[in-house]
Amino acid sequence: MNFNQLVKQAQQMQRKVNKVRKEFEEKTFDFDGQQGAIKGKINGKLEIVELNISDQMLNIENKDILQDLIIVTLNETIQKVSQEKDDTLNKVTNGVDVSAFL
């Protein structure tokens, strides 16, 4: 394989990765904490696009519980979305780390 072929393959892979990354960023993922106390959606860019808090959680006595629940729920969701993104990109690159080229 000559250098020009290698460059051409790298460019093709970069286009595929960019396409998959863009598609992934447009996806939304549902999250749900404590049997519906907190629900919402997060996109592939890890931006919260929807958040619903149950009425029972919206009183001053539950403030600390609610804050902790939001943190835990969102962190778990971010980890899942990040892992799915890594898995999706690994499928496109056959496990080759192309982060240096992106």
pLDDT of residue 90: 87
| φ, ψ of residue 72 in degrees (nearest 5) | -65, -45
What's the sign of the alpha-carbon dihedral 101, 82, 28, 67? negative
Q: What is the pLDDT of residue 100?
A: 55
Which pLDDT value is given to residue 59? 80
Domains and CATH numbers, the chain: 25-93 (3.30.1310.10)
**Phi and psi based region of residue 29 (left: phi greater than 0; alpha: psi -120 to 50; beta: remaining):** beta
What are the backbone angles phi and psi of residue 65, rounded to the nearest 5°?
-65, -45
The reported pLDDT for the residue numbered 24 is 92
- 92 in Cβ contact with 17 (< 8 Å): yes
- Ranges of residues in the chain with a pLDDT under 50 are none
- The whole-number pLDDT of residue 63 equals 86
What pLDDT does 1 receive?
67
The pLDDT of residue 99 is 63
Identity of residue 30:
D
The C-alpha angle 69, 86, 8, rounded to 5 degrees, equals 155
